[in-house]
Structure 1
Amino acid sequence: MNGPNTGLLAVAQAFVDRTYTQQADARQKSMGLAYVTAERTDLAREIAAFTERAQNKRIAELEAKLAESERRINALRSAVRMEGFA
């Protein structure tokens, strides 16, 4: 993959937007600007936890697909044996 996963990036951005509130003074608000405050270690911990959850979810999805593929292969092997080809 050449660039970041845009789907994961969008989900991560939504997570940060929900977790950290934006603040702005009157001048910034008039320009449509805001800033986010957070401790660097807190943000790093949250990003690491978010990434681990996303990876675990993807691993579970792939394991489920693998199990389904193995079931289909076993069914095909059984069908071949029943037909006397093996």
Structure 2
Amino acid sequence: MEMNETEMMLKGYGLTTAEMFYRLPDYRNVLNSFVWQDYDIAPDHPRLFSFIEFWQEKIEGPLHSVRFTHRKMISPGEWRNVVGEFRYT
């Protein structure tokens, strides 16, 4: 079953953004960049490393370098379910 973004964030996932620099297959001296973004778990980053493995197996442009950042949007202690509503008139 697929989790939605809120469920993922409550389970410890954070937004991971990676910028990948790769060489063009026909022009090895030219670097190009690709930005990848997904919800992932730090510090292991299984989705990021899975994508890097996919790139190395399926994409012709060899990776030069990868830099990434990870940010948790919310944590379980910061979110609470509000049941009631107060109106002031």
Using structure 2 for the length normalisation, give the TM-score.
0.28
Greater strand share, 1 or 2? Answer: 2
Where relative contact order (Cα < 8 A, 6+ residues apart) is larger, the structure is 2
Greater helix share, 1 or 2? Answer: 1
Rg (Cα) greater in structure: 1
